[in-house]
């Protein structure tokens, strides 16, 4: 009897350990396969961010106009998220992955005709199609990862998978810095102008940036043929990485096409119109979920603003070149990657809500430093914000989707649609940069970081409510 009791106790302990395993039994290989997708949108995000500044100089447009790069990029998430969720619910996660990869490749390859036509709006359309593919991939991959094990470890599991995302981001930043920004003829023009005007070294970086832009405009008017040749060469430089990533995506498409992935959607409730309405109704009355969508929109807005305008900050507040400023972006992403693993570890000991709130408070403090310190200290604060942001996206995602069951696929669509915050907020910050400063004598590029600060306030409130109101 004692032996039987001992065996029963051992079985119970094994069951308990299995019950709380980070990755479900038999799910390790599918987990690794799906985790390979996460670097794809990290690369796309961060090879695209520097295009805001690059296109501004190449096409001689304003900051607000060039920020349409981010608007078009993130608009794809808003357009495709709900159709993606319906498609996945009707078919399978694998189908969503395949369609997402196909759209990704098509959007990237459209950079070829866009560069030939030398048309800014063509690039915007290509980016929107590419991100329709990213919306499908994110709507698929995030809930799929959450479903690959026990619900108690779902947030930690998603944080682990999301830790692969910064690998793609760092690669994208490195490519942007070494393959794009360092090779642009417009950057060579700016460097030559600095060389013939040594007095620029005594001026404020923001003043110098304005003079360089004016010189470029004068060059375009006085030598239109030479300027057009420079434009053409720079656009060919920009399209190179997109052709390369399209080839990688096509290879992954073939890998997933011939791979067997487990089905974790039950399909017990067919997605009829009635069921679709019922699902949306359940989601709309789930306050923790709705507030999570709002928090996610503000988080993505803050992330894109901090990573996009770090180049503007470095060039206008410190006096760096575009490539040098992008180097600080790479440092920020490296810190983001390390912090993601650290935060995944900390989630084993600290509840998600309090940790989210603490890191959001850190983001607020560092945003204040970015605004009021300026110079290198301000740039260091801006870089440091990435440490605080590392936890936020997957943690908000995991909290909002907790215990949603089959509703998670459509619930995921709302959280992916929230990424449209990255489309709405950067143009607003760009307009603030183009305008006059509204905080004393602080340059407008610094005072514009009041917008990310406000985003972190919203996220900290959500973290507090998750812990004290919803008890998640």
Residue range 264-305, pLDDT digits in tens: 665 555 566 777 788 888 888 999 999 999 999 999 999 989
Query: Residue 153, Cβ neighbours under 10 Å: how many?
Result: 21
Q: For the residues 220-236, what does the mean pLDDT come to?
A: 92
Topology match between the domains 28-262 and 270-471: yes
Rounded to whole angstroms, what are the CA distances from 384 to 9, 26, 32, 322? 48, 38, 30, 19
Q: What is the pLDDT of residue 235?
A: 93
Every domain of the chain and the residues it spans = 28-262, 270-471
Averaging pLDDT over each range in 20-24, 356-360, 413-417, 442-446, which range is the top one? 356-360
Q: What does the alpha-carbon distance between residue 182 and residue 174 come to, in Å, rounded to a whole number?
A: 11
Q: What is the pLDDT of residue 148?
A: 84
Q: What does the alpha-carbon distance between residue 80 and residue 151 come to, in Å, rounded to a whole number?
A: 27
Q: State pLDDT tens for residues 43-89.
A: 998 888 788 888 988 998 887 888 888 888 888 888 888 888 888 87
HSE-CB at 224 with a 13 A cutoff on CA atoms is: 1
Rounded to whole angstroms, what are the CA distances from 123 to 114, 173, 186, 245? 6, 19, 18, 16
Number of H helices, E strands in the chain: 25, 0
Per cent of the chain over pLDDT 90 is 35
- In which band, very low, low, confident or very high, does the pLDDT at 363 lie, cut at 50, 70 and 90? very high
8 Å CB contact between 22 and 149: yes
Closest CA to 25 of 134, 141, 149: 149
8 Å CB contact between 350 and 396: no
pLDDT score of 20 more than 70: no
**Under DSSP, is residue 87 helix (H, G, I), strand (E, B) or coil?**
helix
Q: What is the pLDDT of residue 271?
A: 63
- In which band, very low, low, confident or very high, does the pLDDT at 12 lie, cut at 50, 70 and 90? very low
Q: What does the alpha-carbon distance between residue 343 and residue 162 come to, in Å, rounded to a whole number?
A: 11
8 Å CB contact between 371 and 453: yes
**What mean pLDDT is reported for the chain?**
85
Write phi, then psi, for 92 (nearest 5 degrees): -165, 165
Q: What is the pLDDT of residue 412?
A: 80
Give me the CATH topology for the region 28-262: Growth Hormone; Chain: A; (1.20.1250)
Closest CA to 361 of 388, 340, 383: 388
Q: 218 is written with which tokens?
A: 């004068």
Q: Say whether domain 270-471 belongs to CATH 3.40.50.720.
A: no
Write phi, then psi, for 122 (nearest 5 degrees): -65, -40
**Under DSSP, is residue 445 helix (H, G, I), strand (E, B) or coil?**
helix
8 Å CB contact between 52 and 308: yes
Name the residue with higher pLDDT: 26 or 309. 309
pTM of the model as a whole: 0.76
Q: What is the pLDDT of residue 261?
A: 84
Q: What does the alpha-carbon distance between residue 323 and residue 321 come to, in Å, rounded to a whole number?
A: 5
Q: What is the pLDDT of residue 231?
A: 92
pLDDT score of 121 more than 90: yes
pLDDT score of 6 more than 80: no
Q: 96 is written with which tokens?
A: 């969503």
**Residue carrying structure tokens 């992954």:** 252
Query: Residue 244, Cβ neighbours under 10 Å: how many?
Result: 15
Q: What is the pLDDT of residue 18?
A: 43
Q: State pLDDT tens for residues 153-180.
A: 787 888 888 888 878 888 888 888 888 8
Q: What is the pLDDT of residue 161?
A: 86
Averaging pLDDT over each range in 34-38, 300-304, 312-316, 358-362, which range is the top one? 358-362
8 Å CB contact between 304 and 426: yes
Q: For the residues 327-340, what does the mean pLDDT come to?
A: 88
Q: What is the pLDDT of residue 4?
A: 44
Q: What is the pLDDT of residue 85?
A: 82
Query: Residue 238, Cβ neighbours under 10 Å: how many?
Result: 25
pLDDT score of 15 more than 50: no
């Amino acid at each position: 009897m004692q032996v039987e009791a001992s065996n029963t106790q051992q079985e119970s302990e094994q069951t308990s350990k299995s019950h709380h395993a980070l990755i479900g039994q038999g799910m390790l290989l599918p987990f690794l396969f799906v985790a390979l997708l996460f670097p794809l949108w990290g690369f796309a995000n961060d090879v695209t961010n520097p295009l805001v500044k690059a296109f501004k100089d190449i096409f001689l447009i304003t900051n607000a106009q060039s920020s349409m790069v981010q608007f078009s990029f993130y608009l794809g998430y808003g357009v495709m998220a709900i159709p993606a969720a319906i498609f996945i619910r009707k078919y399978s996660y694998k189908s969503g992955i395949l369609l997402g990869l196909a759209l990704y490749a098509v959007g990237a390859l459209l950079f070829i005709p866009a560069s030939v036509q030398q048309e800014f709006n063509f690039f915007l359309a290509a980016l929107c199609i590419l991100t329709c593919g990213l919306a499908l991939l994110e709507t698929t991959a995030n809930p799929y990862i959450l479903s690959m094990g026990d619900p108690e470890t779902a947030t930690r599991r998603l944080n682990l998978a999301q830790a692969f995302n910064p690998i793609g981001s760092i690669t994208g930043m490195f490519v942007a810095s070494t393959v794009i920004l360092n090779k642009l003829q417009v950057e060579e023009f700016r460097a030559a102008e600095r060389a013939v005007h040594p007095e620029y070294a005594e001026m404020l970086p923001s003043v110098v940036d304005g003079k360089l832009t004016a010189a470029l405009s004068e060059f375009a008017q006085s030598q239109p043929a030479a300027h057009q040749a420079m434009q053409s060469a720079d656009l060919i430089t920009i399209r190179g990485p997109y052709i390369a990533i399209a080839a990688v995506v096509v290879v992954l498409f073939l890998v997933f096409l011939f791979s067997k992935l487990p089905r974790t959607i039950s399909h017990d409730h067919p997605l009829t119109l009635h069921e679709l309405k019922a699902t949306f109704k359940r989601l709309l009355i789930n306050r923790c979920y709705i507030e999570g969508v709002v928090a996610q929109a503000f988080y993505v807005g803050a992330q894109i603003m901090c990573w996009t305008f770090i180049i503007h900050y470095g060039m206008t507040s410190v006096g760096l070149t575009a490539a040098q400023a992008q180097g600080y972006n790479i440092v920020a992403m490296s810190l983001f990657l390390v912090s993601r693993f650290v935060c995944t570890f900390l989630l084993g000991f600290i509840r998600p809500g309090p940790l989210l709130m603490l890191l959001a408070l850190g983001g607020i403090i560092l945003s204040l430093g970015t605004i009021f310190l300026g110079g290198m200290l301000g740039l260091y604060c801006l870089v440091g914000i990435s440490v605080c942001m590392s936890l936020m996206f997957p943690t908000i995602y995991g909290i909002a989707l907790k215990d949603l069951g089959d509703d998670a696929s459509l619930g995921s669509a709302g959280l992916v649609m929230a990424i449209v915050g990255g489309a709405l907020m950067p143009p607003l910050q760009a307009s603030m940069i183009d305008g006059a400063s509204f905080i004393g004598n602080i340059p407008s590029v610094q005072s514009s970081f009041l917008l990310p600060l406000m985003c972190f306030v919203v996220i900290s409130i959500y973290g507090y409510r998750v812990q004290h109101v919803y008890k998640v």
